[in-house]
Amino acid sequence: MNTVNLSQLLKRQDLWQGTSGLSHDLPHVKSGFHQIDSQLHFNGWPLGHSIELLCDGLHIGELPLLMPALSELSQQHRWIALINPPITPYAPALQAAGVDTSRILIIRTQDDKDLLWATEKALSTGTCSAVISWMHNSDANNAQLRRLQLAAAQSDCLHVQIHNSDQAQKASPASLRIQLNATETGTELNVIKQRGSAAGQHLDVALFSELRDEQQPPQQWPLFSDSIHDAANHSLIDEGTAVAATALH
Amino acid sequence: MLWVAIRLPYLQVDTLNNEQVIDPHSQVPEPSIAIYNNSKRIIQASSNALEQGVAEGMSMATARALCEKIQLLPERIDAPLDALRSLQLFSYRISPHSTIEAPDSLFIEISSTLKVFDGLDSILAIITKELAKRRWRHHVSVGLTMRAAALFSHCAQPPFLTPPSVPTQKQQQRAINQLAINQLQCSSKTILSLSKIGIEYCDQINKLTADDRKRTLSEDFNQYWQSLIPSGNQTRPTFTPPSQFQERVEFLNTINSANGLLFVCNRLAQNLGHYLIAIQGHTCELLWQLHDIEGNSLDIHIATAQPLQQYQPIVELTRLKLEPIKLKQPIDALTLVCDQITYDQQNQQDLFSRNDQHTPAHLLNLLAARLHEQAFFSLDIQPQHQPELAQTAVKAGSTESVQANEIALPPRPTFLLHNPPPLKMIGNQLCWRSPIKLLKGPERIETGWWFIPINRDYYVGQDQEHRLLWIFFDRLKENWFLAGVFS
């Protein structure tokens, strides 16, 4: 065998080489969660690769997981394309997480064809630092997903596809596939595929932990009101909070 | 001065052929076409018609007899002039000094731009490449005066072209002297009178003294002869491009599918690109008009997020616009109009000032062409207490960079529901899909007393599927609602 040709082949990033082929210092963005960065072969979310997040339910738990990365990527002068999110993300929450909301580009498509087209264009034009596509209603086949993977490979952006959990049983060209499950403290991540390394990692990532600690009700909370009434003299303990206090127990 | 003459003797036919939707790579033969005038005589014919014996001055019946499949079309008076204007616009990239001479010639004075383009050969290469692209049969020549260049354009082998060289006055005179008098652009009466006195070649005219010429030859001919010789009082016309671009193409055969128009769209877009480059302008809006055989026209507007100048993005956006269109009637003409031109340098900057091949606006242009304007948007934050009003959807790219708020605000959900669904209260237990346990709260938001008052207490809750929810008790409606979802 011609060893020169073999060495050239081994340099190709798109050639699967078991656990040793893919370099650890590939372009990536820190996920903002130590557990994820340390367990993933890429040391964070890989750039220029398709990532699949598989989950059930409302398909809205994934975004907080990506928020620290989006915050970093929004510093680039490029779009963060959110394609077909089930609900429009709330800008004040994005801003609070450090995301520059002027970089956010929400795209709504009518059908699968446009969804795939918009995703591919967002990847191939090089105008986006991140492309997140909600594909839970999509019937994209393997060839179409492969096409997106190729478009991602030619870009330097974070490409995340969000699918239903039942897609886990199907083959996918994505470099990284993670199953997400909601837990009482946040999200559980099961890595079902990662190119260049073994899969099977189970991670528990705490999300909004400051909100999950149950407070002792009722308690004074900052009053955000532009009422002509004097806020200091306005008691929070009234009918509404009384009902709430009952509900808290 | 140094003039380039471009003579296009078959514009009537060549513009028709070029306007055909012919894939240049396909093996489909070009149609045989001939153009007839009011006297029903052939005035121009396509190459393959000429090969079959069709000739200028022939009757239509004879042409049809020689070439069975020939398409005979009436003369289009404006077509050659429109084509020449289009070429003049292109030539503006080379020199601002040019003039059209109907019916078939364009003259470009290039002495001031020779150095810029690194010599005559480069300029001639640019011109011939463009003419080849347009597939116009042409004769190109150079001369020290406009009339000399025009004269050489009628020669079978124009001088100073192989290799291209700038002639001296003597060299040009020598080249003229070698020509037969019937090659001069004079009336046949003048040529006849010259031959009557025994003059067959220009050399013989040159040997006459000025007095002899004045005495023996007409005043018109003397003026013409003087115009062949360079002098200090030559005038140099200056071309000013029009303030808007409009070009119409009529098809020999009608076109039934929108995709079939792409070839012509590509050429018109290229011409628009040449125009914009020539005037150093940009455009954000252009209009395609598809004229069908019943005289109706379908307008296709293209608006871009960023001013464009190059033709490639225009072609790409046009393709996306045309793709979904299903034509009701065959199309027999196409017009491209661009009258919104900006010269503002600031408009040429990228949205986010990034020097990439594709700017962020490029993606918006593509989305606008394929999807509809409301299909993509950005988010803007408003200084409003009411959560639903704290965010608005705005035109993508219209917002300024927003930095994180330094003042820590109470938590806000990742997704806010615009039509908060009411929650059920089963006993003392709040429910939405599953029972909700309250974790934090309340945060009172009381605002809008001057408009639509709201008075709400917001809480963070968690359902049994571990979803973190933002819910509120509406103190006016006395009911609980789901405001949003954290995770």
Structural contact between residues B334 and B262, judged by C-beta atoms closer than 8 angstroms: no
pLDDT(B476) > 50 = yes
What is the C-alpha to C-alpha distance for residues B144 and B234, in angstroms, rounded to an integer?
Answer: 10
Given CA atoms A42, A46, A47, A49 in this order, what sign does their dihedral have? positive
CA distance B346 to chain A (A): 18
CA A194 to chain B, closest CA, distance in angstroms equals: 25
pLDDT at residue A223 tops 80: no
Nearest CA in chain B to A224: B445
In this prediction, residue A48 carries a pLDDT of 92
Residue type, A249: H
Model-level ipTM above the cut of 0.90: no
Q: Which positions 12-41 of A are in contact with B (Cβ < 8 Å)?
A: none
Least confident of A45-49, B79-83, B140-144, B408-412: B408-412
Element (H, E) at A161: strand A158-164
- pLDDT tens digits along A144-160: 999 999 999 988 899 99
Res. A241 pLDDT band, cuts 50 70 90: very low
The two tokens of residue B166 are 């700038």
Question: pLDDT class for A222, splitting at 50, 70, 90?
Answer: very low
Contact residues, A window 59-118, toward B, CB-based 8 Å cutoff: 60-61, 63-64, 67, 77-79, 81, 85-98, 100-110, 114, 117-118
**DSSP three-state, residue B120:** helix
Domain B245-368 class, CATH top level? alpha beta
User: Residue B259 has what pLDDT?
Assistant: 82
Mean pLDDT of chain B: 85
Distance to chain B for A172, nearest Cα, Å: 26
**pLDDT tier, B353 (very low <50, low <70, confident <90, very high otherwise):** very low
Mean pLDDT of B20-40: 71
Mean predicted confidence (pLDDT) in B243-251: 87
Are the Cβ atoms of A212 and B468 closer than 8 angstroms? yes
- The closest CB to that of B487, out of A64, A103, A247, belongs to A64
Phi and psi, residue A86, nearest 5°: -60, -35
The answer to whether the beta carbons of residues B126 and B94 sit under 8 Å apart is yes
Separation CA A40–CA B356 (nearest Å): 31
- The owner of tokens 């991540």 is A189
- Torsion-angle region of A201 (φ positive above 0: left; ψ -120 to 50: alpha; else: beta): beta
Residues in chain B: 487
pLDDT at A23: 59
The verdict on A236 touching B (C-beta cutoff 8 Å) is yes
* Mean pLDDT, range A187-209, rounded to an integer: 86
Identify the CA nearest to A100 among candidates A129, A121, A70, A63.
A70
- CB proximity list for B116: less than 8 A, separation 6 or greater: none
Chain centre distance of CA A50: 12
Task: Compute the distance between CA of residue B228 and CA of residue B226 in angstroms, rounded to an integer.
Answer: 5
Q: What is the DSSP string of A105-156?
A: EEE--SSHHHHHHHHHHHHHTS-EEEEEEE-TT----HHHHHHHHHHHHTS-
**Dist CA B415 CA A146 (whole Å):** 30
* pLDDT grade for B19, boundaries at 50, 70 and 90: low
For range B256-260, the mean pLDDT: 84
Question: Which amino acid appears at position A3 of this protein?
Answer: T
CA-based nearest residue to A148, from A162, A137, A159, A135? A159
d(CA A68, CA B424) in angstroms, rounded, equals 35
Just give the CATH number of A23-207. Answer: 3.40.50.300
The residue among B78, B69, B80, B64 whose CA lies nearest residue B13 is B80
Identify residue B315 by its one-letter amino acid code: V
The 10s digit of each residue's pLDDT in B371-400 is: 887 899 999 888 888 888 888 888 887 777
**pLDDT at residue B69 greater than cutoff 90:** no
Q: Does A230 touch chain B (CB under 8 A)?
A: no
Q: Which two tokens stand for residue B113?
A: 């731009």
Is residue B17 within 8 Å of residue B33, measured between CB atoms? Answer: yes
According to DSSP H, which parts of chain A are helical? 3-10, 34-39, 62-73, 91-96, 112-124, 142-153, 209-212, 239-248
Shortest distance, CA B341 to any CA of chain A (angstroms): 25
**What are the beta bridge partners of residue A35?**
none
pLDDT score recorded for residue A237: 33
- Chain B 440-469, residues with CB within 8 Å of chain A CB atoms: 440-447, 449, 457, 459-460, 462, 465-468
Predicted confidence band at B198 (pLDDT cuts at 50, 70, 90)?
A: confident
Question: Residue A233 pLDDT > 90, yes or no?
Answer: no
Interface of B with A in 54-83 (CB under 8 A): none
CATH 3.30.1490.100 in chain B: give the residue spans.
245-368
Best of B363, B426, B451 to substitute, by most chain A Cβ atoms within 10 angstroms, is B363
User: CB contact, 8 Å: B191 with chain A?
Assistant: no
Average pLDDT (B142-155) is 92
Surface of B (384-403) touching A: CB under 8 A: 385, 387, 390-391, 393, 396, 399-403
**Range with the lowest mean pLDDT among A180-194, A201-215, B281-295?**
A201-215
Cα dihedral B132, B133, B138, B140 sign:
negative
- Please give the angle made by the CA atoms of A202, A206 and A212, to the nearest 5 degrees: 140
Task: State the Cα–Cα distance between residues A241 and A224, nearest whole angstrom.
Answer: 15
- CA dist B118 → A229, B98, B122 (Å): 80, 19, 6
> Is the backbone peptide bond immediately before B103 cis, with ω within 30 degrees of 0?
yes
Give B330→chain A minimum CA distance, Å: 28
Average pLDDT over residues B463-479: 88
Percentage with pLDDT > 70 across chain A? 76
**Which of A67, A90, A222 lies nearest to residue B416, judging by beta carbons?**
A90
Q: Which chain B residue is nearest to residue A220, measuring alpha carbons? A: B442
Instruction: Sort out which chain B residues have CB atoms less than 8 A from A210's CB and list them.
Output: 411
DSSP letters spanning B46-87 = -HHHHHTT--TT-BHHHHHHH-TTPEEEE--SSHHHHHHHHH
| DSSP 8-class letter at B201 | B
pLDDT exceeds 60 at position A185 = yes
Pairing of the two strands A176-182 and A50-55 = parallel
Q: For residue A197, what are its two tokens?
A: 């390394």
Question: DSSP secondary structure string, B412-480?
Answer: --SEE-SSPPBPEEETTEEEESEEEEEEEEEEEEEE-TTSS-EEEEEEEEEETT--EEEEEEETTTTEE
* pLDDT value of position B140: 94
pLDDT, tens digit (0-9, with 9 covering 90-100), for A62-121: 888 999 999 999 998 899 999 999 889 999 999 988 999 999 999 999 989 999 999 999
Q: Is the pLDDT of residue A59 over 80?
A: no
Comparison of pLDDT for B14 and A158, the residue scoring more: A158
Q: Which residues of B touch A151 (CB under 8 A)?
A: none
Q: How many CB atoms lie within 10 A of CB B419?
A: 6
User: Which residues in chain B (293-352) have CB-CB distances under 8 A to chain A?
Assistant: 352
Query: CA B474 to CA B442: how far, in whole Å?
Result: 12
Buried b (16+ CB within 10 A) or exposed e, B357-394: ebbbbbbbbbbbbbbeeebbbbbbbeeeebbbebbeee
pLDDT at residue B290 greater than cutoff 90:
yes
Q: What does the block give as tokens for B106? A: 């364009």
At position B257, the amino acid (one-letter code) is S
Beta strand B105-109 with B391-394 is unpaired
Question: Is a pLDDT exceeding 80 seen at residue B138?
Answer: yes
H or E stretch at B251: strand B245-255
CA angle, B244 as apex, B239 and B246 as ends, to 5°? 100
Q: What percent of chain B has pLDDT over 90?
A: 19
Mean pLDDT (whole number) for A164-180: 90
Average pLDDT for B358-370: 84
Going from N- to C-terminal start, the domains of chain A cover 23-207, 214-248
User: Residue A120's pLDDT is what?
Assistant: 93
- What digits encode the pLDDT tens for the residues B261-282? 888 898 899 889 888 888 888 9
Is the pLDDT assigned to residue B2 strictly greater than 50? yes
What's the distance, CA B414 to chain centroid? 45
> How confident is the model over B206-222, as a mean pLDDT?
84
End-to-end CA distance of chain A: 74
pLDDT the model gives residue B27? 55
Interval B87-135: pLDDT, tens:
998 898 899 999 999 889 999 999 989 888 989 999 999 999 999 988 8
Half-sphere exposure of B77 (CA within 13 A, CB side): 1
